[in-house]
Structure 1
Amino acid sequence: MARVKKQQQQQAAENRDAQAPTGGNSDGGRRLSPLRVIGAALVAAIVVSAGVVGFQWWSAKASVEAKPWFAAYVDVTATPRFAFENLGATKTKDAVLSFVVASASDGCTPTWGAAYTLDQARASLDLDRRIARLQQQGGTVAVSFGGQRNDELAVSCIDETELKKAYSTVVDRYEVGTIDLDLEGAGLSDAAASTRRASAIADLQQERRAAGKSLAVWLTLPVAPSGMTSDATDAIAAMLAAKVDIAGVNLMTMDYGTSKDAKQSMVAASEQAVSAAQHQLGVLYDRNKTHLSDPSLWAKIGATPMIGQNDIEKEVFTLADAKTFNTWATSKGLGRMSMWSANRDKTCGSNYVDTTVVSDACSGVSQGKTTFASLLSAHFDGRISLGESAVTTAEPTSTAAVADDPAHSPYAVWATDDSYLKGTKVVWHHNVYVAKWWTKGDVPDNPVLNAWETPWTLVGPVLPGETPIPQPTLKAGTFPDWSGTTAYDKGTRVLFEGVPFEAKWWTQADSPEAASSNPDSSPWTPLTQDEIDKLLGGDSTTQ
């Protein structure tokens, strides 16, 4: 089966290119224990009684504390055939089998890679027996639906009842408690398919839980260093809206293409991508009125690098990258680690000439006796099955913050009606933010999905004992106030509502106010805080 490619996203636009292989699987995130809930409640009660701050408590109950787990993907239909059943004799016993897709002749019939029906896979691939052998040795399998090459079931099967039946047929046949939905291509972008899928999975999950069975659902999605695409976040939102209890989101940390800076290493790009996605997931849960703490969100994140040579020629995920990435992932508390794929976890033979061309059967890098699985699985000592019964529950969140104290804030407290130049620092909710561009009325801690949606960057918390840092300000009359009847030459500076602007070309009657909504066509550009500081030098006041 061909390798999967994933689309990428540029930081400020939906410019996507490469796609890549993978799929994902199951496990619940960490939740508050009863002791922590009671302790937090006591603290909140004390604070509220003091009249300082109030807390809103969502209905929450403790659930399973699942350990982070590792499982490599296995391309079931690839040639040569990979003996995943032998993983039962190793330390990494679990496997994510991929990919179940729609039949080319019947969109509601599940197949392996559109090449084998479930019965044909039993006969031709001996698949059922090999799964049973892995399970005999203590291994667990999860099944991945989708991928890039063929249609995920929800794309082709438009009858929701039949769609649910198709998913259920696979889950029941292989007795799995964890499924992965690897959404790429039309499986990711088709909004109608997304709605059908979410509804069918929600019904199946609720049905199984009512019968005392588990069904952990992982979404495997493309990611860029700037975070997930809008299609990916929409897919998560659709699942949450349908009340699917998502075990986690597995990120395809691979094939970044032009979304990665050419000088950035694969491991650095992956760390940046996963961090951005973790923030996005928190926003999505908050919008769904389910607040999760940072540790719980990290536990709901998985990562799947493509080991060795990626589909993009200059992108190579090395053994050193694997070791570094594992250290970083365990420090953050990721709930899962996978890799594409177990089939490829070995050095290519001497008869494989061009290792810059991706092989389904080797990594394209010299591994010696070291495997990527051994490096990526370190400290991920949980099992897929242990997290299958975990239930996502909301956690307490503050609805009223202690007011920022100007006398103990290093910078001015943000105000709705004030204008802020690029580079200006403010304090908001006990944190310092810096403006990325001229802004007015944009709340610094607005929970946006993407960094480019907000003009503010979080710098860090206000430290104990801090006092205001004197800031240079313009003296009255430094620049003339803008007038609609005056003609201004290029380079002329004016004040507009207290904000200094500079003319980019000759202009008359063009208000600087338009610079905020359409900066390219406006003849005015606001000066930055750094420009003001350099311009004024000693000819300024401090306050």
Structure 2
Amino acid sequence: MAASGVKQLTLAFMLSDGTCNPKWDGTRALAGGSDQSAINSIRAAGGDVVVSFGGWSGNKLGEKCSSATALAGAYQKVIDAYRLKAIDIDIENTEVASATVRQRVVSALKTVKTNNPGIKVYVTFGTTPTGPDADGADLVKKGAATGTAVDGWTIMPFDFGSHSGSMGSVTTKAADGLKSVVAGAYGYDSATAYKHIGISSMNGHTDESDESVSTGDFTTMFNYATAHHLARFTFWAVNRDRQCGSGESAGDTCSGIAQSPYAFSKIIAKYHG
């Protein structure tokens, strides 16, 4: 925070302990551990946190909770534990692939919005180079049909499999596709739809050999987000926001490209909607 100016941090991931009970990474308790200490430190330094539920691996609450009511209760347990003002549902892999779970998630989030006035709810999922795939589009449509007021439908524009052009330009095309899906589902005009979408990128080398996200790409995303007043602009992950040292390769702890420390975080820090 001191080095980059970032004030809002997303902590991930909140998972199931094998039942409809939330724990950090599925194993660490909500109270009293290193995660709570990190939240306390961030707030003491003038910042705040978004807790992200889900991700690619591990047991997902959306699957382990047998009803929307139970799932909303699991989300609420975390909201209450940390007095959260925002949550993110990162719905991937088997969780997003199930139509039943997609419906359960958006129904649970409608309850969360009703029971927590003013809370921000973000839903994050994968994308193709031109916008959401069939599962992603169906998720948005189910949200609209259920009357779930999602503040920011957010795509992860990387790990495409194949794409053309820079990662900055393909990200804006994917976001335009998301905007169209959200506008169609909710009946928003374009300006309103943009204000209800977001981008969650990855810095440096991704999991695909032909994908490398530069600070120039991030600047393209920043300019796009600023022009359209996107609801969210974030990335995975601050842990990676440094150049790899000798013997290291791109992963959870470095970006795999030449960069100054926190170069990507410094761009994100300038974004204010």
- The TM-score range, normalised by the shorter chain, is over 0.9
**Matching residue within 6, 27, 30 for 1:118:** 30
Q: Which residue of structure 2 lines up, in the alignment, with residue 265 of structure 1?
A: 166
- Matched to 1:257, the amino acid is G
**Matching residue within 10, 16, 20 for 1:102:** 16
Matches within 5 A, 1:434-449: none
- Rg larger in 1 or in 2? 1
**Matching residue within 84, 91, 109 for 1:201:** 109
Q: Which residue of structure 1 lines up, in the alignment, with residue 266 of structure 2?
A: 374
8 Å contact kept, 1:337–1:377: no
**1:102 Cα offset (Å):** 1.1
8 Å contact kept, 1:142–1:180: yes
Q: Which residue of structure 2 lines up, in the alignment, with residue 330 of structure 1?
A: 226
Q: Which residue of structure 1 lines up, in the alignment, with residue 5 of structure 2?
A: 91
8 Å contact kept, 2:151–2:231: no
Cα deviation code 1:52-104 (max 9, x no counterpart): xxxxxxxxxxxxxxxxxxxxxxxxxxxxxxxxxxx267521110111111113
**1:334 Cα offset (Å):** 2.1
* More helix as a share of residues: 2
2:144 is equivalent to residue 240 of structure 1 = yes
Q: Which residue of structure 2 lines up, in the alignment, with residue 361 of structure 1?
A: 253
Query: Percent identical across equivalent pairs?
Result: 27
| Separation of aligned partners in 2, 1:171 and 1:252 | 24
| Separation of aligned partners in 1, 2:51 and 2:14 | 7
8 Å contact kept, 2:175–2:199: yes
| Separation of aligned partners in 1, 2:233 and 2:243 | 21
| Separation of aligned partners in 2, 1:161 and 1:325 | 37
| Separation of aligned partners in 1, 2:40 and 2:205 | 32
**1:163 Cα offset (Å):** 2.0
- Matched to 1:281, the amino acid is V
| Separation of aligned partners in 2, 1:136 and 1:376 | 21
Number of residues of Structure 1 aligned to a counterpart in Structure 2: 273
8 Å contact kept, 2:6–2:268: no
Q: What's the C-alpha RMSD, in Å, of the aligned pairs?
A: 1.8
Matches within 5 A, 1:19-34: none
**1:116 Cα offset (Å):** 1.7
- Matched to 1:180, the amino acid is D
TM norm structure 2? 0.93
Relative to structure 1, the CA distance from residue 222 to residue 323 in structure 2 (aligned partners, 3 Å threshold; closer, same or farther) is same
2:182 is equivalent to residue 281 of structure 1 = yes
Q: Which residue of structure 2 lines up, in the alignment, with residue 255 of structure 1?
A: 159
Cα deviation code 1:323-342 (max 9, x no counterpart): 23222332233232101101
- Matched to 1:117, the amino acid is A
SS state of the match for residue 305, structure 1? strand
**1:201 Cα offset (Å):** 2.0
8 Å contact kept, 1:151–1:186: no
**Matching residue within 227, 240, 264 for 1:344:** 240
**Matching residue within 205, 215, 223 for 1:309:** 205
2:79 is equivalent to residue 191 of structure 1 = no
- Matched to 2:134, the amino acid is S
Cα deviation code 1:125-156 (max 9, x no counterpart): x2212211211221010111111112321111
SS state of the match for residue 324, structure 1? helix
| Separation of aligned partners in 1, 2:214 and 2:66 | 42
**1:164 Cα offset (Å):** 2.0
| Separation of aligned partners in 1, 2:236 and 2:66 | 30
8 Å contact kept, 2:240–2:255: yes
Q: Which residue of structure 1 lines up, in the alignment, with residue 123 of structure 2?
A: 219
Relative to structure 1, the CA distance from residue 368 to residue 208 in structure 2 (aligned partners, 3 Å threshold; closer, same or farther) is closer
Cα deviation code 1:345-379 (max 9, x no counterpart): 00111131xx3xx310011111035611112443x
8 Å contact kept, 1:98–1:144: yes
Cα deviation code 1:203-223 (max 9, x no counterpart): 2221223xxxx2211110211
Cα deviation code 1:199-250 (max 9, x no counterpart): 22212221223xxxx2211110211122101111111222222222110111
| Separation of aligned partners in 2, 1:300 and 1:113 | 28
- Matched to 1:301, the amino acid is I
Q: Which residue of structure 1 lines up, in the alignment, with residue 191 of structure 2?
A: 295
- Matched to 2:87, the amino acid is I
* Uncovered stretches (5+) of structure 1, i.e. residues with no partner: 1-86, 287-291, 383-543
| Separation of aligned partners in 1, 2:55 and 2:88 | 10
SS state of the match for residue 236, structure 2? coil
SS state of the match for residue 148, structure 2? coil
| Separation of aligned partners in 2, 1:203 and 1:381 | 28
* Uncovered stretches (5+) of structure 2, i.e. residues with no partner: none
